Chains A and B, each alone.
Chain A
Amino acid sequence: GQNIDQPTEMTATEGAIVQINCTYQTSGFNGLFWYQQHAGEAPTFLSYNVLDGLEEKGRFSSFLSRSKGYSYLLLKELQMKDSASYLCAVRGATDSWGKFQFGAGTQVVVTP
């Protein structure tokens, strides 16, 4: 099985940086994903890591350490529109490519 942990809520000021941590325990691993979800809307894809290291995409970066079962999503130059839930998800082993496990989500609140 898989277990994914991330903080419930984080608050930060507009223009600041926030780091959302995600730890996971899996029996198989084929990638870690971050999604953004605004209330009442569908999740939208932010990033994907399958190898160790940092992936940068504009204001968002994601880091993975497979040996530690750890990832983080870094949001820089926060904007009010970044207030949303951020979901960490892990894809299962090769024999179950589609099997995704999502964390409960981290609600990020950006204040003026």
Chain B
Amino acid sequence: DSGVTQTPKHLITATGQRVTLRCSPRSGDLSVYWYQQSLDQGLQFLIQYYNGEERAKGNILERFSAQQFPDLHSELNLSSLELGDSALYFCASSQRQGSYEQYFGPGTRLTVT
């Protein structure tokens, strides 16, 4: 158990809908990262937050947005969902912005039908 929690574990929804994925980092970790993993794309970095502020952006679509709250939990919002958004979404946390070790949560499996 990494200490990072993600909810929900599974999510099934229809195209065009909007969902919110939630992540709670390990106690004391200030940095949160979001990743998408699909069979054909591998693990893709989406976005990083550090102490409430956005710090790095990867291959995140405009239909997706994220934020980190004052209590350091983070949410990833996915809207206008398409079939291709079906994937495992991982959250990871680390203690410092430059810290090299990331701890991954168990992931949320999103299925868009």
- Residues of A at the B interface (CB closer than 8 Å) are 30-31, 33, 41-45, 48, 50, 87, 89, 91-92, 96-105
Contact among A45, A97, A101, A105 with B103 in the assembled complex (CB-CB below 8 Å):
A45
Interface residue ranges of B82-101 to A (CB < 8 Å):
90, 97-98, 100-101
> 9 closest A-B pairs (Cβ-Cβ)?
A98-B48, A98-B56, A42-B104, A102-B43, A99-B56, A104-B42, A48-B100, A96-B56, A100-B45
A92 to B56 CA separation, bound complex (whole angstroms): 10
Residues of B within 8 A of A33 (CB): 100
- Residues of B at the A interface (CB closer than 8 Å) are 2, 31, 33, 42-45, 48, 50, 55-58, 90, 97-98, 100-107
Known A43-B90, A102-B45, A105-B42; contact A97-B104, beta-carbon cutoff 8 A:
no
**Closest chain B residue to A33 by CB distance?**
B100
* 15 pairs, A vs B, C-beta closer than 8 Å: A33-B100, A42-B2, A42-B106, A44-B2, A45-B103, A48-B100, A50-B100, A89-B43, A97-B55, A98-B31, A98-B97, A100-B58, A102-B42, A103-B42, A105-B42
